[in-house]
Structure 1
Amino acid sequence: MENKILIVDDAIFMRMMIKEALSKSGYDNLVEASDGEEAYNMFKDEMPDLTLLDITMPKKDGLEVLKEIKMLDSNAKVVMCSAIGQENMIVEAVKLGALDFIVKPFKTETLIKVVNNALK
């Protein structure tokens, strides 16, 4: 599949897990960032079709990055990834324009379903 997906998470194991799941499902145009600043710069440089964005990260949190991405491209497709217990942040993210969200830890099938729906 040709859709470019930006994976943003400060935990390398989480990025690797997401990359592996997406690769196995046919998504191979994947780029990644490990913090909020890098995420915004990668988004500007790569203009991905979808961004999977962690909420809790160093330098800039996911909500701040989401605001910046939406100012740059109001049609950007962003799915937030959050830990259990961050429900308030999820609500805020949806208000800011996030397309969907995934609660960690998540099943591979859930991730793929959300990604497929976001890229329809």
Structure 2
Amino acid sequence: MEDLSILVCDDSETIRKQMIDTLGTIGITNVYEASNGEEAIFVCREKEPHLVFMDIIMPKKDGIAALKEIHHQFPHVKVVMASSTSGLAHLKKSKLLGAYSFIQKPISEITLMNIINKYLDERSKSRSKV
């Protein structure tokens, strides 16, 4: 997991820090952060993380708009949408725009591990086919 890079994008500094701490406890140390969709797109351009955990409701550029742009410019970057509200409309729109997954906040360590393991398993399978 040392080569795995993750971007945590949320307008709440507290949530970002909690996620970064949790990722650290499970062995992920290559973590970037952004506080809105504009920053997330910039970080993706500069660092090209493997996974992005993206809040939906944020200032400047919301998660849906950022997802659309990231998916278009960096189709290999997997974006996981996170929301504290269970909006079915957000879920449908996220899936249509190419979201890798959709999770409910607060995000537990088990949820993070499940998504990371799913990503690593898929990456391993795709590499073994080459």
TM-score range, shorter chain: over 0.9
Deviations 1:50-89 (A, max 9, x none): 1111101000010100110011122221111111232210
The TM-score with structure 2 as length reference comes to: 0.87
* Contact kept? 1:39, 1:65, Cα under 8 Å: yes
SS of structure 2 residue aligned to 1:106: coil
What is the aligned partner in structure 1 of residue 117 from structure 2?
116
Is it true that 1:96 corresponds to 2:97 in the alignment?
yes
Give the conservation status (yes or no) of the 8 Å contact 1:50–1:119. no
* 2:54 corresponds to: 53
Q: Does 1:27 align with 2:28?
A: yes
Structure 1 residue aligned with 2:7? 6
Q: CA deviation at 1:119?
A: 3.3
2:7–2:53 CA contact under 8 A, matched in 1: yes
Q: Kindly name which structure, 1 or 2, has the bigger radius of gyration based on alpha carbons.
A: 2
User: Runs of 5+ in structure 2 lacking a partner?
Assistant: 122-130
Secondary structure of 1:2's partner? coil
Secondary structure in structure 1 of the residue aligned to 2:60: coil
Residue equivalent to 1:76: 77
Displaced runs of 4 or more, over 4 A: none
The CA deviation at 1:90 is: 1.4
Structure 2 equivalent of residue 36 of structure 1: 37
Conserved 8 A contact 2:86-2:104: no
Give TM-score, length-normalised by structure 1.
Answer: 0.94
How many residue pairs were aligned?
Answer: 120
| Greater length-normalized contact order (CA 8 Å, ≥ 6 residues apart) | 1
- 8 Å Cα contact 1:8-1:54 kept in structure 2: yes
Where do 5+ consecutive residues of structure 1 fail to align? none
Q: Which structure carries more helix by proportion?
A: 2
